[in-house]
Amino acid sequence: MLQKTMFTAPIIRPLLRSFSRVTLKLLGWKVVGSMPQDVKQCVLIAAPHTTNWDMPLSLMIAFSLDTQLHWIGKQSIFKFPFGSLMRWMGGIPVDRSHSNNMVNATIEKFKELPELRIMMSPEGTRARVKQWKSGFYHIAHGAQVPIALAFVDYKNKRGGIGKFITTSGDYDKDMIDINTFYKPLCD
């Protein structure tokens, strides 16, 4: 079982939802899309991931959409003094220094928990990359959950969830659909 987060705190959640909606509106941001009520599990990819501002904006967008989620982050940001805060914010630490079969461990989490939405950066870093890491795809396919295509578009001050993809098992074919969605945002 995952620990309680700010997304599940009865008093904090509505306050953060209101704060997020007001803040985004004051900053001129528009939130688009939605998380359907019947989608209790998914891998939510957030791209492009280019700045540290992606995290606070993504969390405010999630609150605005009234979506509870967890996110994957590098283990170093979970150290003292911020580790407990990061976990409370929905963070799940990942040690990227060696292979520890994160894909299978995450698939098992989906089997254990009836409600789990995990946000992750397909790039695996804030730097520009030519090709995304494929872990998000293998997690979604192995857990038999959809991939939610989420985004933060700084140019147009928009963010949200664009569409959902059900994996076919043909990575190359499915990535054409995913890349077509993200192309205008990543150029």
Angle formed at CA 83 by CA 146 and CA 76, multiple of 5 degrees: 80
Contact 109, 102 (CB under 8 A): no
User: Quick one: CA dihedral 121, 112, 175, 45, positive or negative?
Assistant: negative
Beta bridge partners of 92: 72
Domain ranges of the chain: 12-186
Write the pLDDT tens digit of every residue in 140-162: 999 999 999 999 999 999 999 99
> Is 97 a residue whose pLDDT tops 80?
no
Cα 178 from Cα 163, distance rounded (Å): 9
Q: Minimal CA–CA distance to 33: which of 18, 44, 23?
A: 44
167 phi/psi in degrees, rounded to 5: -70, 145
CATH number listed for the domain at residues 12-186: 3.40.50
Q: What is the mean pLDDT of the chain?
A: 88
pTM of the full structure = 0.86
Two tokens at 41? 């599990």
Q: What is the pLDDT of residue 123?
A: 66
The answer to whether 169 touches 77, Cβ cutoff 8 Å, is no
Count of C-beta atoms within a 10 Å radius of residue 38:
5
